[in-house]
Structure 1
Amino acid sequence: MRLTVIGTGYVGAVHAACMADIGHEVLGVDVDAERIAALATGRPPFFEPGLSAMLKGAVEAGRLRFTTSPAEAARFADTHFVCVGTPQDPRSGAADLRYVEAVVDGLAFHLRDSEYERVLVVGTSTVPVGTADRLTDRLHAAAPDAEIAWNPEFLREGCAVQDTLRPERIVAGFRSEHAEARLREVYAPLLAAGTPFIRTDLATAELVKLASNSFLATKISFINAMAEICDATGADVLTLAEAMGADSRIGPRFLAPGLGFGGSCLPKDIRAFVARAEELGRGESVAFLRQVDEINTRQRSRTVDLAQELVGGSFADRSVAVLGAAFKPCSDDVRDSPALAVADAVRRRGAQVRVHDPEAVDNARAAYPALQFALDVAKACEQADVVLHLTEWPQYRELDPAALAAVVRTPAIVDARNTLDPVAWRSAGWTLRAPGRPRLG
C-alpha cells in the first residue's frame, strides 16, 4: 500500500525506510530541503546502525522517495504517518505541539481536494493526552471524512531499525473499524511474525508512551539514588542491582547505576507528563517524577565532584579527557547529553577538556564549541590528569588500561557508567572511582 511519513528525523526516517523495506510504497516529507536531498540519495542525516543500507536499498528499489511538498503528500496516499518532534517548552516544561499542529493543518488544507474518500492520519509523536481529540476537530474543519489514529513509537536510538521491524508490541488507538483495518494492513508482515497488536482508544494510546518512559526513568533514578546510599555506607551498588534484578517482579533491565539518562525522550517526556497532569488537576499523581528528574540531574554534578576530588580539589590548570559525547552508545545524538553536560561543567571550573566519541564529535562540536575534541582516544587522553568515562560505548570497555596509562599524566579514571573492569584497571596502576562502588586504587 501507499504511505506518507511526515517528518524525517530520527523516528520518521527510520519508519519510512522500514515501511519501504517490508513492501510499502513510501513518500517521506519534510520542510528541511537539505535533509530531503540527502535522504533522496540514500544518505541518512544521522548515525543509526543498519539504517544507511536499508535506506539506500529502498531508494534504489523505487519504494521510497522524498519531497518537501505537503500537496504532493496529500495526493500520494490516503494513510499519513505524522512523525515530527514535540520538544519541551522551556518556560512550562510542557510539550511544544506546534510542529504536530502544523502538519495536521497543512494536510487538512490539501485534503480538501483529495481524491480519496477516507483518509487516515496516524500520529506517532509523543503528545499530551487529549491531543488527538483536539487535532481531530482541526482536521474535520477542512476534511470531515478524515480520521486520526494514534500509534506511539517505542524506538531506542541505536536499535531503532530492529525496534521497528521486530517490535515488542504495536499499540494503536482509534475510533473506527476502518482505522483498525488500515493499521493492521500497514503492519501485516510484523503481525504475521507474531508481534502483539494492542488496540485501544486514543487517550490510552497517547498515555502509553509517557507512562512507559516515566516508569523507565523512575527505575534508572531509583538505582542511582541507591548508589548515593551505597557511597555513604560502603555498599556496592552493582551487587545490589544484581540482587534486586534477580527478583522476577523487578528484573535487571534499567537498573544500571551511573550518570543517568539524557537524550530527546526521557527528560522531556517526564516533564511534559507532569505539566499535563497539573493541567488536568492531577499533578499530585505524578509529583514523584519531579524527584526522579532531580535525582537524574544530580548525577551530573556528583560526577563532576568525583573528578575534582581525583585531581586534588581544583580543576585549575588540569587536563581532563572525556570518553563519550553522545547521550547513549550507538548514536550520534547529543541532545541533553549527560556526557557533554559534565564535560562543559568541568571546563567551566577551569580545566582544559578534550572529548572523544566514535560517532558524535561533529554534533558535539556544534553544540559545545568551547570544548576541544579529539578523533582518537590516545590523543584525547594525552597528558590527562583524569579520564572521565561518560558514554558506555563498547570500544571503551575494550581499551587496554596499561597502554592508556603510558599516555596520561596521572592514571586516574571516573567510570561514571560502571561498565569498566575495575580489577583490570586497578592492576594496571589506575585509581578508579565509580558511583556507588567501594573505592578502588
Structure 2
Amino acid sequence: MMSKVLFQKKQTIDYKLMMNVKKIACIGAGYVGGPTMSVIAQKNPGIIVTVVDLNQARIDAWNDSDLNNLPIYEPGLADVIEEARGRNLFFSTDVEKAIDEADMIFISVNTPTKTYGKGKGQAADLKFIELCARQIASVAQSDKIIVEKSTLPVRTADALKSILDNTGNGVNFHILSNPEFLAEGTAIPDLQSPDRVLIGGENRDAIEALVGIYEAWVPRERILTTNLWSSELSKLVANAFLAQRVSSINAISELCEVTGANVDEVARAVGTDSRIGPKFLKSSVGFGGSCFQKDILNLVYIARSYNLHAVANYWEQVILLNDHQKSRFAEKIIRDMYNTVNGKRIVFLGWAFKKDTNDTRESAAIYVADHLLSEEANIIIYDPKVTAEQIYRDLDYLGTRSSEENKRLVQVVEDPYEACKDAHAIAVLTEWDEFRTYDWKLIKEQMKRPSFVFDGRSVLDSSLMESLNFTYYKIGSDVNQK
C-alpha cells in the first residue's frame, strides 16, 4: 500500500513538472531543428527556445542580422526568425547550458545511412544520437522530457532510455517520439498548418506536455498520440509510401515513352480516382532529399533483421527503380547526342533536389552529372540557391574522381544565359519556376546546333520548344521534336 501511495504521489509531481515547460532546448540546428524550433517559439512566446549546435559557422549564420544569410533557404522562414529571434528564440553553441536549463530537450541531429560495418548502405547511423544521450545524461540535474525529432529506427527509444538511465545523475527522463513530416520548400506552411502532429510515448503526462505546446496553434484533433514504437515506425512508413508513388509513376513514364502514351495524361486520369488521388504522381528524373532513400533503406534493413525478406525486397525495389530512372535519363542524353558527350558542353539547370530549397542531399542532379562526367562531358551548372562550394562538395563526396578532375570538368555560374552560351545541350534537373520564364528564343540563338533540351522535371512548354526548333525530350512522353 505504501509503495502505491508513493507511486501516485510521484505521478502527481511529474504531472506538475511536465505541464510547466518553460524552457526548451533543441540539439541540432539543421533542416529540421532550425525551422521547427523557430515556429514553436513563434507560436509559444512564453517559452524560451534555444537551438544549439557545435558548428560555430552554422550558429553564426542563424544569428546573422542579414536574414538573407540564414543557413537554410526556406520560403517564409526569415519572417518567422525575425519575429521570434531575440525575444524567445536563441541560437547558441553552449550545449551544456541549454541542456541544464531545459525542461524539454528535442534531439534533432543527423541520422545518415551507415557507410561502415554492419548494416553498411542501409541501416541508420545512430552515433550522433548516442552522443547526445550521453551528453544529456552527464549534464542533467533535473527531470527532463526527451523528444526524438530525428528520424530513427523503431525501438531506438529503448537504447536512449538505457543510456540515460544508466549513465545519468539519478534524474527521471521521459522519452517521446515526435517525428517531423516536413516537405522542403514548404516547411514553414507544413509547420504552421500541419496535416497532423504525431506524438508517441509511454508517460501520459509527458505526452500531454508536448501536446500542450502544439495546441498553441494546432487543433487538438490533428494531434495524434500513439505508443513509442508506432510513432517511430510511422515516419519511415510515411516516407516509404510517398517514395513508392514517385517510383510507381516513374516506372509508368518509361512505358509511356515507348507506347506513345503521355505520363502526365495518365497521371491525371489515375489521380482523379478518389481512392488514389493526384499527389506525388509527377514523373521526374527521380526523387532525392535527405529522407526518402535513407528511410526506405532503413526500413529494408529492419525487415531483413527480422528475416522478413519478402517485405525487404518489396521496398528495396522502390530504390532500385529510382536509381534506374536517374541512369536512364543520363543514358538518354548520351544516346540522343550521337552516343558521345566527350568534350560537349551540357548545361544543368538546377542542382537542388527540388525547388524552393538549397538542399542537395541525394539530388538526382548529382548522379546524372557523375554519369556524364564519366563520359568526359563538360558540365556547366546554374542553380539560383545552391553555392559552387556545395556542388563541388557533392561531387567529391561520391569519390568517383579526384577533386581536381571534378573542377576541370565542372563549371558553376551565376547567370543562366551565360551557362547556356555555346551549349550543346540543356538538362533541366530541378523544377525552379524561373526556368519557365526564360527567353528561350535567345537561349536557342546562343546554343550549338542541333540544340538539345532534356526536361527531367517536365517544367517547360513542349509546344514552345517545338516552335523554336529545339530537339526536346520530356520524361514520360514520346515528344522528341526537331
TM-score if structure 1 supplies the norm length?
Answer: 0.95
Given that 1:126 and 1:152 are in contact with CA atoms closer than 8 Å, whether structure 2 keeps it comes out as yes
The farther-off stretch of 317-326 and 283-292 is: 283-292
Structure 1 residues 169-184: aligned runs within 5 Å: 169-184=196-211
**What is the rounded CA distance, in whole Å, between the counterparts of 1:407 and 1:30 in structure 2?**
47
User: Is 1:154 matched up with 2:181?
Assistant: yes
User: Is 1:191 matched up with 2:218?
Assistant: yes
User: Is 1:107 matched up with 2:136?
Assistant: yes
The farther-off stretch of 256-265 and 201-210 is: 256-265
Aligned to 1:180, what secondary structure does the other structure show? helix
Given that 1:172 and 1:197 are in contact with CA atoms closer than 8 Å, whether structure 2 keeps it comes out as yes
**What is the rounded CA distance, in whole Å, between the counterparts of 1:435 and 1:228 in structure 2?**
8
Q: 2:421 aligns with which of 370, 382, 404?
A: 382
Aligned to 1:189, what secondary structure does the other structure show? coil
**Which ranges in structure 1 are unaligned for 5 or more consecutive residues?**
none
User: Is 1:32 matched up with 2:55?
Assistant: yes
Given that 2:148 and 2:178 are in contact with CA atoms closer than 8 Å, whether structure 1 keeps it comes out as yes
Given that 2:348 and 2:381 are in contact with CA atoms closer than 8 Å, whether structure 1 keeps it comes out as yes
Q: Which residue of 2 aligns with 1:119?
A: 144
Structure 1 residues 404-425: Cα deviation after superposition (integer angstroms, max 9, x where no partner): 1112113220111122111111
**What is the rounded CA distance, in whole Å, between the counterparts of 1:242 and 1:439 in structure 2?**
18
Count residues with an aligned counterpart: 435
Q: 1:94 aligns with which of 123, 128, 131?
A: 123
Aligned to 2:85, what secondary structure does the other structure show? helix
Given that 2:194 and 2:218 are in contact with CA atoms closer than 8 Å, whether structure 1 keeps it comes out as no
Given that 1:432 and 1:439 are in contact with CA atoms closer than 8 Å, whether structure 2 keeps it comes out as yes
Given that 1:70 and 1:110 are in contact with CA atoms closer than 8 Å, whether structure 2 keeps it comes out as no
The farther-off stretch of 200-209 and 417-426 is: 417-426
Given that 1:323 and 1:388 are in contact with CA atoms closer than 8 Å, whether structure 2 keeps it comes out as yes
Aligned to 1:320, what secondary structure does the other structure show? strand
User: Is 1:433 matched up with 2:470?
Assistant: no
**What is the rounded CA distance, in whole Å, between the counterparts of 1:435 and 1:41 in structure 2?**
41
The farther-off stretch of 210-219 and 423-432 is: 423-432
1:10 CA drift (Å): 0.5
1:434 CA drift (Å): 1.7
**What is the rounded CA distance, in whole Å, between the counterparts of 1:361 and 1:73 in structure 2?**
32
Q: Which residue of 2 aligns with 1:237?
A: 263
**What is the rounded CA distance, in whole Å, between the counterparts of 1:356 and 1:401 in structure 2?**
16
Letter in 2 for 1:128: P
Q: Which residue of 2 aligns with 1:270?
A: 296
Q: 1:421 aligns with which of 461, 467, 470?
A: 461
1:324 CA drift (Å): 0.6
Q: Which residue of 2 aligns with 1:67?
A: 92
Structure 1 residues 258-297: aligned runs within 5 Å: 258-297=284-323
**What is the rounded CA distance, in whole Å, between the counterparts of 1:74 and 1:319 in structure 2?**
52
Aligned to 1:322, what secondary structure does the other structure show? strand
Letter in 2 for 1:175: E
**What is the rounded CA distance, in whole Å, between the counterparts of 1:283 and 1:158 in structure 2?**
35
Structure 1 residues 132-143: aligned runs within 5 Å: 132-141=157-166, 142=168, 143=170
**What is the rounded CA distance, in whole Å, between the counterparts of 1:67 and 1:439 in structure 2?**
53
Q: Which residue of 1 aligns with 2:433?
A: 394
1:144 CA drift (Å): 4.7
1:318 CA drift (Å): 1.4
Aligned to 1:309, what secondary structure does the other structure show? helix
User: Is 1:212 matched up with 2:238?
Assistant: yes
Q: Which residue of 2 aligns with 1:2?
A: 23
**What is the rounded CA distance, in whole Å, between the counterparts of 1:351 and 1:88 in structure 2?**
30
Letter in 1 for 2:387: V
Question: For the pair shown, which has the larger CA radius of gyration, 1 or 2?
Answer: 2
**What is the rounded CA distance, in whole Å, between the counterparts of 1:51 and 1:169 in structure 2?**
20
Q: 1:14 aligns with which of 29, 32, 35?
A: 35
TM-score if structure 2 supplies the norm length?
Answer: 0.87
Q: Which residue of 1 aligns with 2:11?
A: none
Given that 1:306 and 1:433 are in contact with CA atoms closer than 8 Å, whether structure 2 keeps it comes out as no
Q: 1:41 aligns with which of 64, 71, 75?
A: 64
Structure 1 residues 148-171: Cα deviation after superposition (integer angstroms, max 9, x where no partner): 000000111111111111111000
**What is the rounded CA distance, in whole Å, between the counterparts of 2:37 and 2:209 in structure 1?**
17
**What is the rounded CA distance, in whole Å, between the counterparts of 2:370 and 2:346 in structure 1?**
11
Aligned to 1:191, what secondary structure does the other structure show? coil
1:339 CA drift (Å): 1.1
Letter in 1 for 2:454: V
Letter in 2 for 1:105: R
**What is the rounded CA distance, in whole Å, between the counterparts of 1:92 and 1:436 in structure 2?**
30
Structure 1 residues 362-409: Cα deviation after superposition (integer angstroms, max 9, x where no partner): 321333353211111111111111110111111112223222111211
**What is the rounded CA distance, in whole Å, between the counterparts of 2:99 and 2:332 in structure 1?**
55
